[in-house]
Each structure stands twice: as C-alpha cells, then as structure tokens.
C-alpha cells in the first residue's frame, strides 16, 4: 500500500467507530424516538450504553495492549463494531438495541485507541488525518439519511442502520489492510512504567471533552426539529448542517496543521476545545439557520482535533512503548465523561422542558475543560518521545 495512502486507509476505522457508530445515532435518533416512543432519557440511555461499551473497551485496552499489541485489538475492534451496526438494524427491541449499541462501543474503543497509536507511528500529520477520517461517516450520513427519512418516514430507521453497516464493511477491510503495513510501537509483552500525575490537566480536559461534546452530538438534530427554519424543508436543514460537519472534519488537518506542529503542551487541546465550545453554544445565541450552519462548521472543524491533540500529547511526552497504555488511560477518562453526558443532558432537558438547557450546559463544560487543558506543560523528562 502506498505510504501516502496509509493514514487515510487507517482513518476508515475512525469513520466506522465514531463517524458511523457514534455520530450517526444523532441523525437516526428522532426517527427512533418517534417509532419506539422514547423519551429523552431513554434516547440518552441508548447512547450511554454505547459509551459504557466504549469505557469497558478502553479499560480492557489498558491491560491487553501491552500483552497483545495494538494491531490485534485494532482488527478485532473494527470487525465487532461493523457487525454490531448491522445487528442494530435488525431489531425493534429496546434491550437488544442497548446491547448492540454497547457492543458497537466496545469494539470502537479498540479500533479508535489502537488506530490512533498506529497512526502515531507514521507521524503527527497521520494522527490528525486519522481522527479527521471520522468526517467520512458524518458527510455520508449527513448527505443521505435526512432525505431517507423525508421520503420514507420514521419507520425507515432500521434501513438506515443496515445501510451504514454495509458501507462500513469495505472501510473496515481497507483499515485492516493498512494496519498490516504499520510497525508496532513496542513489542507485545513489554511493560513500560510512566507517571500520570504530570499529565493531569490534559487528562482532566479530555474527560470534560467527553462529558460536554456528546450532548451536542446526541441532541442537536432533535433541537433542530424543535426549532425549525422557516421556508426550508427540515431534511435540507439537517443534511446541510451534518454535511458541513463532515466536510470541515476532513479539512481539519489543513486548518490545524500549524497548531499541532512541535507542541508538547496543552495548547492544541485548549484551542480545539475553545472552538468546539463556541460552535456548541452558537445555536443558542443565534437561533437562526445561519447560526445552526455556522455551528456545524465550527464543531466539524474542531471536534476530532481534541482526540488528535490528546494522542499527539501522549506521543510527545511518553516513551514509545507506553503509547498504547497511555492513550488507553486518557481515553478511559474520556469514556467516563461520555457515559455521563447523554443521560445528564437528557435529564436536564427533560427537567427544564427544553433541549437548549442541556446544550448550554455542554458548551460551558467544554469551555471549562479547555481552560484546564491550557495549564498543561510538557512532562519534566522532556517533550521528545522515546
């Protein structure tokens, strides 16, 4: 495989594990709510089940990556995620839906964490490209799913999951093929000790990213339905916004290139989370179609740069053999926040009778996390990876 193609081929795993498995839920959620008569807390629970699977997968990766290596966990994770997405379209049972969402999250953790480590072997630019690959899923679903529901109604949501699963199959194959051409950063069975205390601001910032961003992604489409744009079909509003998210995600490596180059501190996370916070809050202050679309542009340009910032920080500050375990630890903290976020935002929205309340809290959490990450300095032993 051409070395120039490797980062983009690997990024298919990010598209599957996040762009499709996690973010497509927001587009399908309103139809599922209508057909299955779900309240906001139940809708949030399905995403929390996904987040719980992601958390368990991240915790398992901490113990397994040093024994098995990154590539086996990467391969197993992407296959499990793809199978779970297909199964989601084959049932209307809420319990089974929660199980399949859980399994999709469990597999996504291995694919996302270990894929980021493998991309790190190829360099900082490859890290940014890998995470921006999630935009493939967002662009595809944004361009197609709103019109599917416009034409066939809310009963079409199982077909949406089946179509997503079908697209994920070739992406998974290409990602696994690319992973075969990337060397492991450390030999399986090798244990490398590292201290987490000097990384605390970055880790807390990433936890708050997981807590805050997921509320926006989970409920922004439902918010659009509550606040329709006059004179435009709802499908057009949703499709343009989600497509803008995907396009800006794919452009993010170019936009953030100078911010990431040579940085071993918390500034990349601060910068990307600040832009993300502004994007999440924008529809509340500019509740017009222009505000919504600008929100999509800002969120798309920044949301996947936060995990790219965390991965770059781990690569720059930890020994090479500790990249897998280090990234698994920071991702576990993120996953805890991501688990709390949907139910918390759903509860706040149910209590206040408006999705705007949950979105406002999520924007405030993101800004707070950005300010904490700004306190991060390079680890004392030096910023160069060993």
Closest CA to 221 of 237, 210, 232, 233: 237
| CATH of span 6-373 | 1.20.1250.20
The pLDDT value given to residue 22: 83
Query: Phi and psi dihedrals of 384, rounded to 5?
Result: -80, 135
Specify whether the CB–CB gap between 135 and 249 falls below 8 A: yes
Token pair recorded at residue 354: 């408006």
Tell me, what DSSP letter sits at residue 228? P
3-class DSSP state for residue 13?
helix
Residue partners of 17: CB distance under 8 A and separation at least 6:
77, 78, 81, 107, 108, 109, 111, 112, 115
User: Which pTM was predicted?
Assistant: 0.81
The per-residue DSSP string of 200-213 comes to HHHHHHHHHHHHHH
Token pair recorded at residue 75: 């391969």
Alpha helix stretches (DSSP H) within the chain: 6-14, 24-36, 40-68, 70-88, 94-122, 124-132, 134-152, 157-179, 200-226, 234-255, 257-260, 267-285, 289-302, 305-317, 323-352, 355-373
Closest CA to 110 of 13, 10, 208, 213: 13
Tell me, what DSSP letter sits at residue 376? -
Residue partners of 166: CB distance under 8 A and separation at least 6:
86
Angle formed by the axes of helices 24-36 and 40-68, nearest 10°: 140
The pLDDT value given to residue 237: 79
The pLDDT value given to residue 207: 94
Tell me, what DSSP letter sits at residue 156? G
The pLDDT value given to residue 160: 96
Instruction: Give the integer Cα–Cα distance in Å for 363 and 358.
Output: 9
The pLDDT value given to residue 339: 76
Tell me, what DSSP letter sits at residue 384? S
The pLDDT value given to residue 172: 96
Specify whether the CB–CB gap between 145 and 108 falls below 8 A: no
Tell me, what DSSP letter sits at residue 1? -
The pLDDT value given to residue 354: 66
Closest CA to 116 of 318, 277, 298: 318
Residue partners of 163: CB distance under 8 A and separation at least 6:
144, 148
The pLDDT value given to residue 383: 39
First to last CA, the chain: 27
Query: Can you say how many angstroms the Cα of residue 149 is from the centroid of all Cα atoms in its chain?
Result: 24
Closest CA to 160 of 174, 172, 143: 143
Specify whether the CB–CB gap between 369 and 207 falls below 8 A: yes
Tell me, what DSSP letter sits at residue 80? H
Other CB atoms within 10 Å distance of the CB of residue 92: 11
Instruction: Give the integer Cα–Cα distance in Å for 47 and 24.
Output: 11
**pLDDT per residue as tens digits for the range 135-145:** 888 888 888 89
**pLDDT per residue as tens digits for the range 220-264:** 766 777 777 677 777 787 788 888 888 998 898 888 888 887 788
Token pair recorded at residue 78: 């992407």
Query: Can you say how many angstroms the Cα of residue 339 is from the centroid of all Cα atoms in its chain?
Result: 13
Closest CA to 178 of 343, 14, 357, 381: 14
Asked whether the CA dihedral 140, 227, 296, 303 is positive or negative, the reply is negative
Please identify every stretch of the chain with a pLDDT value under 70, giving residue numbers as ranges.
1, 186-194, 218, 221-222, 229, 342, 345, 349, 353-355, 379-386
Specify whether the CB–CB gap between 69 and 15 falls below 8 A: no
């Amino acid at each position: 495989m051409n070395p120039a193609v490797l980062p983009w081929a690997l990024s298919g795993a990010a598209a599957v594990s996040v762009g499709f498995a996690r973010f497509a839920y927001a587009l399908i959620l309103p139809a599922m709510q209508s057909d299955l008569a779900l309240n906001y807390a139940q809708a949030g629970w399905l995403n929390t089940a996904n987040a719980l699977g992601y958390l368990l997968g991240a915790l398992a990766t901490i113990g397994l990556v040093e024994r098995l290596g990154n590539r086996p966990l990467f391969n197993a994770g992407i296959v499990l995620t793809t199978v779970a997405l297909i199964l989601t379209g084959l049932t209307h049972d809420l319990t089974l839906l929660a199980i399949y969402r859980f399994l999709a999250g469990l597999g996504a953790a291995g694919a996302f964490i270990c894929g980021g480590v493998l991309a790190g072997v190829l360099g900082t630019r490859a890290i940014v490209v890998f995470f921006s690959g999630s935009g493939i899923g967002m662009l595809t679903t944004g361009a197609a799913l709103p019109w599917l529901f416009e034409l066939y109604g809310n009963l079409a949501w199982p077909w949406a999951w089946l179509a997503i699963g079908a697209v994920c199959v070739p992406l998974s194959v290409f990602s696994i093929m690319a992973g075969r051409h990337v060397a492991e950063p450390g030999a399986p069975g090798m244990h490398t000790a590292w201290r987490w205390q000097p990384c605390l601001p970055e880790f807390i910032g990433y936890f708050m990213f997981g807590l805050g961003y997921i509320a926006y992604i989970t409920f922004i489409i439902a918010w659009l339905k509550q606040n329709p744009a006059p004179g435009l079909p709802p499908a057009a509003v949703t499709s343009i916004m989600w497509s803008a998210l995907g396009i800006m995600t794919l452009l993010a490596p170019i936009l953030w290139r100078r911010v990431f180059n040579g940085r071993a501190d918390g500034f990349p996370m601060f910068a990307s989370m600040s832009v993300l916070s502004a994007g999440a809050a924008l529809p509340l202050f500019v509740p017009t179609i222009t505000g919504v679309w600008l929100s999509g542009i800002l969120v798309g340009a920044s949301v996947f740069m936060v995990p790219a910032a965390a991965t770059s920080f781990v690569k720059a500050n930890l020994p090479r053999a500790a990249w897998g375990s280090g990234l698994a630890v920071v991702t576990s903290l993120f996953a805890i926040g991501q688990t709390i976020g949907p139910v918390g935002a759903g509860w706040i929205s149910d209590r206040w009778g408006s999705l705007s309340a949950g979105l406002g809290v999520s924007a405030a959490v993101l800004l707070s996390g950005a300010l904490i990450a700004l306190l991060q300095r390079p680890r004392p032993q030096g910023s160069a990876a060993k």
